[in-house]
Amino acid sequence: MPKAIIVGGSIAGVCCAHSLIHAGWKVTVVEKSPGPPTGSATGAGLGLDPQSRQIIASWLPVPDLLHQSTLPLTIDQNQATDAETKSSWVLARDEEFNFRAAHWTDLHHLLYTALPPEAASFLWGHLFLSFSISQDNSKPSVSVQARTLQTGEIVEITGDLLVAADGCLSAVRRAFLPDLELRLLKDMPFVPHFLSRYSGYCAWRGVLDFSENEDSDTITGIRRAYPDLGKCLYFDLSTRGTHSVFYELLNKRLNWIWYVHHPQPELKGSSVTMKVSKEMIQDMIQKAEQVWTPELVRVMAETKEPFLNLIYDCEPLEKLFWDNVVLVGDAAHPTTPHCLRSTNMSILDAAVLGKCVEKSGVENLSSGLDEYQQIRLPVISKQVIHSRHVGRIKQRLSVPDWKLFDPKAARSVDCEEIQQKNMPLFSSAPLSLH
């Protein structure tokens, strides 16, 4: 059996493991985390579209497990909140929104535990260091070096294919695109090719577990303020030029996101998640009181361990593979989260990659990777740019050929533009060239 080495054991990496195993490959996954995630300190909610759900179900021994571990999102509602009066009104509402809400940790657990152990090997607690491509044209191979974090031992793994699923700060990608640097380009929605772009804002994120306080004033109040919780994806645009996202997760949890304008912080390591102090959280709550309704602020204040995500995206790449090394997930297309694309794009990357290498066989691997690139590159390019466009509108930042979005004066046609259904290839991204 051909062997793939996957760098990164997040959802993108686990999805690639499923897809490649279904294509007849064995996989070894290299992941720096000490073990499978069990908590939610840096995990939050995500939305799965119908196409992604169908793909995931095909990988599970019991397809209904995905349905059982998610909640419906049948409504996509954009609304505005007046920061002064705290009154809200609907800007646009789509009642045919067929997504489902999942918690990141729940979805990862579901996918990880469904992998066949005889075909999938996970090297937890291993830090990727480098890779090399063999020069033997008769049988090209790739070798990966990783450090065992517990002992410091260096291990080497050899395979036929290297899959870079190591996130938006991908170390594998850096070997081919060393000039792809993260930097702040304030108020510039479009930047020169091969530059990753800090958006100019961050996202406070949190999940409130109310399983032991179902009848509290906080939960009663938030259900009154957001009456369609449990089936609605709420986007709340403030008159102060910021916006939030709010929806319910399974097992009595509320997922919230608040996008705040912020200078580019200094990145440490390979994570775009910042550790926050108690003082930072208190400051965030005080600022939230000036913008959002008391009901939403109480949810934020009662959330344990909120965290801060730095929001980056990247100009669409020209290539997704070199020799027998291929990019997937955020390594291939760092994107802003405004259109629920990151996880969905990663799932489709994995599905298409598996189909293409199964079709080509390991002996014609380059042909399969080229087909993967031809299928996915046009889709992800359009979706990354559209997500950036929507995010800047909602944060009241400049967008070419657009006036700054004012919720109080917005025309209905402007409000329609920010709905999820306007994402290119929203419901039917191609899985093949034909």
Nearest Cα residue to 373 out of 353, 399, 395: 353
The dihedral through the CA atoms of 349, 352, 358, 363 has a sign that is negative
Residue 2, Cβ neighbours under 10 Å: how many?
Answer: 17
**Distance separating alpha carbons of residues 277 and 303, to the nearest angstrom:** 14
The dihedral through the CA atoms of 296, 81, 334, 66 has a sign that is positive
Flag the least confident range among 33-47, 240-254, 297-311: 33-47
Flag the least confident range among 5-9, 171-175, 182-186, 224-228: 182-186
The dihedral through the CA atoms of 214, 215, 221, 224 has a sign that is positive
Nearest Cα residue to 381 out of 393, 370, 389: 389
Nearest Cα residue to 305 out of 343, 259, 273: 273
Residue 310 in tokens: 């730095």
What is the helix (H) or strand (E) element at residue 155, kind and residue range?
Answer: strand 154-159
The dihedral through the CA atoms of 314, 317, 323, 328 has a sign that is positive
Q: pLDDT tens digits, residue range 232-277?
A: 999 999 999 999 999 999 999 999 999 998 877 666 655 678 778 9
Average pLDDT for 186-194:
35
Average pLDDT for 54-76:
97
Q: pLDDT tens digits, residue range 385-406?
A: 999 999 999 999 988 888 899 9
